[in-house]
Amino acid sequence: MTKTWWKEAVIYQIYPRSFKDSNGDGIGDLKGITQKLDYLALLGVDVLWLSPIFKSPNDDNGYDVSDYCSIMEEFGTMADFDELLATAHENGLKVILDLVVNHSSDEHEWFQASRQSGDNAYSDYYFWEKEKPNNWQSFFGGDAWEYDEQREAYFLHLFTKKQPDLNWENPKVREEVYRLMRFWYDKGVDGFRMDVIPLISKRLGFPDAPNDDFKNTIDNIYANGPRVHEFLKEMNEQANRPYDVMTVGEGIGVSKEQSLDYVGEDRSELNMLYHFDHLFLGYEGGDRLKSSGFTLVEVKQIFREWQEAIGDSGWLNVCLDNHDFARMVSRFGNDQKFRKESAKLLATLLLTQKGTPCIYQGSEIGMTNVAFPTIEDYDDVANLSTIDEWRAEGKDMEELLRRIQAGGRDNARTPVQWDNTPHAGFTTGQPWLKVNPNYAEINVANALADTDSIFHYYRKMLSFRKEHKTFIYGAYIEYLPNHPAVYFYERAAEDKHYLILLNFSDSTQTIFGVPDFSKAALLIGNYKIIENKKRLAPWEARVYLLEVDTI
């Protein structure tokens, strides 16, 4: 397996809108990020992934781009970006941007031209049909075909109707994408996270979708279309190859069986991808507002099966949350009685799995889900059609509020909590989305001052991972796969065996029948006192080193 910088790096995802506001308009911006680069360098991450910073009407908070080569007005100017990039590089941080090219904004000049007529240079930059060709539904609810009076035809939008899908069958569209990628690469950008990239090749027969199960539709109708690998190979050749850059696919719809088709080292397509099997786990049809819960055994099985599928032939991006999902300490940990312990345990998991970890902003201080008191407090466009539908059908809106509180994307989008001043030091104005009321206790200032904080544990784990390369290139072996509460695995290379023990429960767990690690040396743990090597306290994480020639 080849060794390279993007396998050894740790990514930190920034959702700029909620990271830091520098000018008091209540919206995070590029200058705000620049002000905090020394904080991120102190944390010890290597690559910053910025969610979209391009010009946008913000129908989907930047995932609807109206000009790919200019900066969103609310976020600042190109000069601000140049300063951010230069300062990041000076601080030893790389920067990757968010490539949103499955669709553009309907306010992009391409779409405005395309809808003028059926015979201009941009007519075929999108998908237009005289009649609705099928029953496709948007990820955000409602029809995926919208009638346009001007063009007198329907256009396809897998997301909101302000996010028309680009027609990748058109070589001119592909050339436009490769050109904009090179524009940013020539500025020194270090790569891209690629938004819903498995969706860019459409099944042109436009077959009907099995709308009974939307995840089935995603996996078998929207994703992994007939030309997706051809397009990614062409993108690699035309855009990425001449540069030393990192490409991270958002692997929506990609199964473990299909994974190496995208990230196999011999494929020249993507460096890595993150998958949705654990992110959608317990969500019926992938709908985060229809949560049916999950078990640790299911999570362990997903992690194991993906490690086995990728092996040494490809590479994974490992995450437990991002701007689209509930906060990981609330969903996979215990954000009440054991918030600190479970946040540190999840950090241990993220940073000892095989693959490039991605830390989502605020995880390093254990930020949690939020429970705003009314539906009006929420912003996410993904909720709107469900809210309308429930209202129209006279359903229980309190139940819907509870579902949005538990699984909605805004859980991850409340402003980063910097200190205990008003609005947690995020802004001197009114924040675009309310700050989580727990900011008085959970904030960066407190975390920096507390040597036992989640932040300082992340710092320790990050430098530890750098020092012990087995966590990057070592084999992944699992023990006790059916234990309901303990996740026990090993990372091994030559004679170094690192044992990772994680107790995902509120109670003490005793472990039996595993390799003898009585001689193992404890390297890192999230509890100060250990009475018994084989008994794990609630949400206790430990990393041992066993140096023997056989285990």
Cβ neighbours of 550 (radius 10 Å): 6
C-alpha distance from residue 234 to each of 105, 122, 197, 237 (Å): 24, 21, 14, 5
Structure tokens at 104: 């553009």
196 binds ligand TEU (CB under 6 A): yes
60 binds ligand TEU (CB under 6 A): yes
159 binds ligand TEU (CB under 6 A): yes
DSSP 402-419: HHHHHH-GGGGTSPP--S
221 binds Ca ion (CB under 5 A): no
Q: Which is nearer to ligand TEU, 59 or 341 (CB)?
A: 59
Structure tokens at 419: 């200190």
- The residue ranges of DSSP E strands in 239-306, in sequence order, are 246-250, 272-274
Site string for ligand TEU, 83-102 (x = CB under 6 A): -----------------x--
Rule CB under 5 A: which of 424-483 touch Ca ion?
Answer: none
Q: Which is nearer to ligand TEU, 98 or 261 (CB)?
A: 98
What is the amino acid identity at position 499? L
Number of residues that bind Ca ion (CB under 5 A): 5
277 binds Ca ion (CB under 5 A): no
Binding partner selected for residue 23 from ligand TEU, Ca ion, none, CB under the kind-specific 5 to 8 Å limit: Ca ion
Rule CB under 6 A: which of 251-270 touch ligand TEU?
Answer: 252
Closest CA to 157 of 139, 134, 174: 139
Q: How far is the CB of 509 from ligand TEU (least distance, A)?
A: 33
Site string for Ca ion, 19-58 (x = CB under 5 A): --x-x-x-x-x-----------------------------
Q: Which is nearer to Ca ion, 14 or 329 (CB)?
A: 14
Number of residues that bind ligand TEU (CB under 6 A): 13
Known catalytic residue: 82? no
Q: Which residues contact 421 (CB under 8 A, 6 or more apart)?
A: none
**3-class SS of residue 85:** helix
Determine which one of 250, 335, 364, 410 is catalytic: 250
Known catalytic residue: 441? no
How many CA atoms does the CB half-sphere of 319 hold within 13 Å?
Answer: 29
**3-class SS of residue 25:** coil
Q: How far is the CB of 6 from ligand TEU (least distance, A)?
A: 20
Rule CB under 5 A: which of 278-297 touch Ca ion?
Answer: none
Residue written as tokens 């609705």? 132
Q: Count how many residues are written for the chain.
A: 551
Determine which one of 60, 106, 190, 195 is catalytic: 195
CA distance 478 to 488: 6
Structure tokens at 21: 């506001």
Rule CB under 6 A: which of 321-340 touch ligand TEU?
Answer: 323-324
CA distance 17 to 433: 9
Give the footprint of Ca ion on this chain (CB under 5 A). Answer: 21, 23, 25, 27, 29
Q: Which residues are catalytic?
A: 195, 250
The residues binding ligand TEU (CB under 6 A) are 60, 63, 100, 139, 159, 195-196, 250, 252, 286, 323-324, 382
